[in-house]
Amino acid sequence: MLQVNGENAMCGRFGEEEEYVALAHRYRAVMRVVDPGPRFNVAPTQPVAVIVEHEGERSLTHHRWGLVPFFAKDLKIGARMINARAETLMTQAAFKDSFVGRRCIVPATRFYEWRTIGKTKIPFSILRNDHAPMHFAGLWASWRDRASGERVLSCSIVTTEPNELMRQLHDRMPVILDDEAVAQWLDPSFQDIEALQRLLVPYPDNDDLFMYRVSPLVNNANNEGPELVEPSN
């Protein structure tokens, strides 16, 4: 879904809580940015940690959340491209080239989804039982401002149909890759489209993921802090 408001988008908010040193070790990546500390309410257009393989190096770096294709006139389009539907990656001009050769992992400790009851939107946190980062399948792009010459790196999170857990809240969910799929997804020289498409499936219906209700403080992207993920009645 190409939407930006947190409680309406999938995936429109997530948490980035593991230390970058640990993330770099987990992905065997070179850390290219300073760790900002745990973030509990990452929102569109903000810088997010990504794992990329480029020019022979796997690195942990920052990309702007909301993919800006090279042909865009300005950055505004990125706010509508925070997600990319797995089913249409090869038919969308903004995502096709990135799918073929510019893929990334967006590590996320948790993501949020909302249940609507009447006019009230109730936020839920979804995460792994072991609280380890999930490997979100992502795409990245490089855009250059014609006026200033500034280069902007951006990314989008790939979504797919929901599993049974997520179907309680939404009709989409982020693609969460298993450990074995990470290397293949990150390798820009691997361009077997059919094989890549087979990775873009709902997370298995097992007990690896769970969800719980959290504070409505998370509804406001300006709010931040561990109190956002405390269980709420």
Q: Which helix H or strand E contains 166, and what residues bound it?
A: helix 164-167
Tell me whether residue 11 is one of the annotated catalytic residues: yes
Q: How far apart are CA 59 and CA 38, in angstroms?
A: 19
CA pair distance 190, 102, nearest whole angstrom: 10
* Length, in residues, of the chain: 233
From the candidates 7, 11, 16, 17, give the one annotated as an active-site residue. 11
Q: Which amino acid is at 118?
A: G
User: Looking at 53, 104, 113, 155, which residue is catalytic?
Assistant: 113
Quote the CA–CA distance of 177 and 183 in Å, as a whole number. 10
Q: Which residues pair with 117 in a beta bridge?
A: 120
Does the annotation mark 155 as catalytic?
A: no
Burial of 221 (0-12, 13-18, 19+ CB in 10 A): middle
Q: What are 104's strand-pairing partners?
A: 52, 138
Contact indicator for 183, 164 with CB cutoff of 8 Å: no
Active site amino acids:
11, 113
